[in-house]
Structure 1
Amino acid sequence: MKDKNLHIIQKVIANIGRFLLAASFIFSGFVKAVDPLGFQYKIQDYLTAFGMASWFPSFFPLLGGIVLSAIEFFVGISLFFGTRRTLASSLALMLMIVMTPLTFYLALFDPVSDCGCFGDAWVLTNWETFGKNVILLLAAIEAFRYRTMLTRFISVKMEWLVSLYTLFFVFTLSFYCLDRLPVLDFRPYKIGKNIQEGMTMPEGAKPNVYESIFILEKNGEKKEFTLDNYPDSTWTFVDTRTILKEKGYEPAIHDFSMMDLNTGDDITQDVLTDMGYTFLLVAHRIEEADDSNIDLINEIYDYSVEHGYKFYCLTSSPEEQIELWKDKTGAEYPFCQMDDITLKTMVRSNPGLMLIKNGTILNKWSDEDIPDEYVLTDKLENLPLGQQKMVSDAHTVGYVFLWFIIPLLLVLGVDVLVVRRRERKFARRKLQEEALKAAEAQKLTDSAQELADNAQKPTDNAPMSVDNSNEMKP
């Protein structure tokens, strides 16, 4: 009885840990899969922080991010349905063994502001992330230790199909969002948001306090200085960095600033308060931007000029790269410089296009979805394109969920109606065969016993013996 109760307790603990891991890995893998470029930027931050950016080829952060998100999603689904129990629990344990000490290091030394484990959907501090990972590590240990006790919801014969479809789904989702735009936007520049409102500080709120650190060199020796102890001109400037000295309220948008390269003026407020339409071509690095659809971009600029709309290209690239872009593409639109991280946050495409009006984001397009002349047939005021695109995260999540769950329900239906019925039929047939064999064996046993019994008693037709001892002799 004691062993039975212990077995039940172990099974309950293993399955609780299994579902906790499943929820975490499914959510983590999904939010990374819908924003592959965002996870790429986070991996680049990691490599830069650890001085490893030059160790890997340029495609590694993107490809590695897509593969890692697929692994996390696969592990989560496998743990949830109880398929590939050894593989899934082993991968979960390996990931947590790697991530737990890594996040402890991040919490201690803060080389990266947040780990990015849940993308932009749920931003945790480094200490919060470490605490979460400690719990998940304990759950992974229990799930791996008692993996044979994890309850199955899919038969062994059908688990390969669930695994294959899971990987197909998550890779398809990642590449679709990479080619277009994320189907879910967790950033402050999502459609329907007003940029100026996102920059507003609540009344009485205390802002963050930053401090600039200057790295200077003299006689081969490098030292760090602040404005309070900045040295004389005998020191040579090397680098500068900004650190957060005191945490305060930080608005969702805190670094949106448009600097017109033609005039050198800050035109941010002029653009955000303009009651007309403004197209913003976002190319965070103009030298890396895709120019395959440049004709469509030039046509939209011509369309803007014709109808009196504003059009700006926002980039963080230096002026010499902008001039090369103009020579290569024939661009005539004005350029503004902006922070590189801000541009990456605005549109996950290089280039990407954004339409705003009075500071409100009406629509966004990737390089592959830029409107063409067949859509721009009239003024924006008279076109659906000029209206704010209706976006519902709940509907999007439901739509994506249906794309994933309906095929899985079909698999479950086949599993229940066909595979398991066949298994039950096979089991019944085996029982019948075993019963038939047992009956035949019993019949043979009875026959043998009957023959043995008959051999031990005389029969009516057996010849009688004659005693001739009393016969007279001649």
Structure 2
Amino acid sequence: MESKHLHKAMVIGTNVCRFLLAGTFLFSGFVKANDPLGTVYKVQDYLEAWGLFSLSTGVVPYLFALAMGVLEFLIGIYLFFGIRRRVAPLLTLLFMSFMTPLTLWLAIDNPISDCGCFGDAVVLTNWETFFKNIVLLAAAIVVFKHNDCLFKLVTRKVDWLISLYSAVFIIFFSLFCLQYLPIFDFRPYHTGANIPQSMEIPEGEKPTTYETIFTYEKNGEKKDFTIENFPSDTTWTFVSSQTVVKEKGYEPPIHDFAITSMEDGTDLTEEILNDSSYTFLLIAPWLHIADDSGMDLINEIYDYSIEHGYRFLCLTASTEEDIASWQENTGAEYPFALMDEITLKTIVRSNPGLVLLKKGTVLQKWSVSNLPDEYQLKAPLDELPFGHLNKKTTLHKLLEVFIWFIAPLLVLTVGDLIWLKIRNRRQKKEQEASN
């Protein structure tokens, strides 16, 4: 009797560990697939921290980011449904055996402030991530050691179909989000966010103070400037800019949104955020590698904004040389302003991307692949859907994605079961006829 109770406890404990791991891997893989470019940025941070600068550019980070999201999601699917009950626990244990010491190194050396395990959906400190991985590693050991206790939620007749469909779904979902922006935007610049409100400091809290450093070059000499000592000598050539922490304090969701005029170094932040009219912001962190396939549409949107009296500004962290080259190659006539590279990458996951503001509120965001054209911009913005907030909530989006994944999977699974039933009946009739 005692042995029976012990076995039952082992089965329950193993499957609790199994579903804990399945939920974690499904969530982690999904958020990586939802924001593949954000995962690319994090992979580049890792490669640069390891000194592999040659691999941090090009296709390698993209392939690795895609593979990470797909692998984690599929491990979660396998664990959840009980598919490949020997292979899935082994993969899980190997994965956690690699990630746990990696996050210990991150916690001790802190080369990267956030490991990026759950993207921007759940941000953990490096020590929190390490302790989380300790728990998951222990669960992985239990599941691997007692994989015979795992029960299946589906039969072997359909587990291959679930595996194949899950792989196809997560790959295409990741590619879709890479092309057209993340469906779920967990960043502080999401549609509907009011930037000034997100920059406010609660009463009594001491704010973190930041300073934007501008690097300029003259006669082969590079020198750093701040807004206070911005060079009046126009012979200095802009190289790069970055925002650094001067004094740590309370950090609001948005703390590094600062726009500096390219012409004279004027701070345009308050002017743009307080503008009661519409403002188009073309976000292009690096113009020398920006996708110029939508330049005709961007120039048309600029002409449209001029026609209707809207502000249009390109925000970049590029050098003056790259800006001049961009203007020459694309025929860009719109003005440029400087912003921190990390902030630009956070605002929109596209290079370039387009953001529409009104009174500091993010109304719309577009990637370079789905910019509005002249047929959509046929009236003033207040008469168009673009000029108003989309009422679709996160719950609506979640239900849509759930239906995209579950509905076809159910249809294929039921179809497969019906076909197997029909085939078995035929085989039974043929066997009876032969007898």
**Number of equivalences:** 404
Partner in structure 1 of residue 234 of structure 2: none
Partner in structure 2 of residue 33 of structure 1: 33
For the pair shown, the structure with the greater C-alpha radius of gyration is 1
Whether the 8 Å CA contact 1:155–1:415 is kept in 2: the answer is: no
Matches within 5 A, 1:141-160: 141-160=141-160
Partner in structure 2 of residue 458 of structure 1: none
Matches within 5 A, 1:210-225: none
Q: SS where residue 157 of structure 2 aligns?
A: coil
Whether the 8 Å CA contact 1:154–1:415 is kept in 2: the answer is: no
Please say if 1:358 is aligned against 2:359: yes
The structure-2 alpha-carbon separation of the partners of 1:244 and 1:291, relative to structure 1 and needing over 3 Å to count, comes to closer
Shift of 1:408: 2.6
Q: SS where residue 392 of structure 2 aligns?
A: coil
Whether the 8 Å CA contact 1:191–1:391 is kept in 2: the answer is: no
Partner in structure 2 of residue 380 of structure 1: 381
Root mean square deviation, CA, Å:
2.7
Partner in structure 2 of residue 166 of structure 1: 166
Unmatched tracts of structure 2, length 5 or more: 213-240
Q: In the aligned structure 2, how far is the partner of 1:280 from the partner of 1:168? A: 35
Whether the 8 Å CA contact 2:242–2:340 is kept in 1: the answer is: no
Whether the 8 Å CA contact 1:259–1:336 is kept in 2: the answer is: yes
Q: In the aligned structure 2, how far is the partner of 1:263 from the partner of 1:408? A: 58
Runs of 4+ in 1 over 6 A off after TM superposition: 209-212, 240-246, 420-427
Q: In the aligned structure 2, how far is the partner of 1:197 from the partner of 1:62? A: 34
Q: SS where residue 354 of structure 2 aligns?
A: strand
Kindly provide the amino acid, as one letter, of the partner of residue 48 in structure 1.
E
Whether the 8 Å CA contact 2:48–2:56 is kept in 1: the answer is: no
Q: In the aligned structure 2, how far is the partner of 1:244 from the partner of 1:388? A: 33
Q: In the aligned structure 1, how far is the partner of 2:178 from the partner of 2:344? A: 16
Could you give the per-residue CA deviations for residues 141-175 of structure 1, whole angstroms, max 9, x where no partner exists?
11111112210011112211110001000001000
Partner in structure 1 of residue 6 of structure 2: 6
Shift of 1:45: 1.0
Partner in structure 2 of residue 111 of structure 1: 111
Whether the 8 Å CA contact 2:210–2:256 is kept in 1: the answer is: no
The alignment-based identity, stated in percent, is 52
* TM-score relative to the length of structure 2: 0.87
Q: In the aligned structure 2, how far is the partner of 1:281 from the partner of 1:56? A: 25
Whether the 8 Å CA contact 1:155–1:420 is kept in 2: the answer is: no
Partner in structure 2 of residue 391 of structure 1: 392
Could you give the per-residue CA deviations for residues 9-52 of structure 1, whole angstroms, max 9, x where no partner exists?
32222111100000000000001100000011111111112212
Q: In the aligned structure 2, how far is the partner of 1:85 from the partner of 1:242? A: 49
Partner in structure 1 of residue 305 of structure 2: 304
Shift of 1:242: 8.9
Unmatched tracts of structure 1, length 5 or more: 213-239, 437-474
Could you give the per-residue CA deviations for residues 255-286 of structure 1, whole angstroms, max 9, x where no partner exists?
11111112321111011101111100000101
Partner in structure 2 of residue 43 of structure 1: 43
Q: SS where residue 355 of structure 2 aligns?
A: strand
Whether the 8 Å CA contact 2:280–2:354 is kept in 1: the answer is: yes
Could you give the per-residue CA deviations for residues 46-79 of structure 1, whole angstroms, max 9, x where no partner exists?
1112212224662111110111110000000110
Whether the 8 Å CA contact 1:282–1:315 is kept in 2: the answer is: yes
Kindly provide the amino acid, as one letter, of the partner of residue 104 in structure 2.
F
Whether the 8 Å CA contact 1:82–1:150 is kept in 2: the answer is: yes
Kindly provide the amino acid, as one letter, of the partner of residue 269 in structure 2.
T
Whether the 8 Å CA contact 1:154–1:412 is kept in 2: the answer is: no
Whether the 8 Å CA contact 2:259–2:269 is kept in 1: the answer is: yes
Q: SS where residue 363 of structure 1 aligns?
A: strand
Could you give the per-residue CA deviations for residues 414-452 of structure 1, whole angstroms, max 9, x where no partner exists?
56666479889999x99x9xxx9xxxxxxxxxxxxxxxx
The structure-2 alpha-carbon separation of the partners of 1:284 and 1:170, relative to structure 1 and needing over 3 Å to count, comes to same
Partner in structure 1 of residue 285 of structure 2: 284
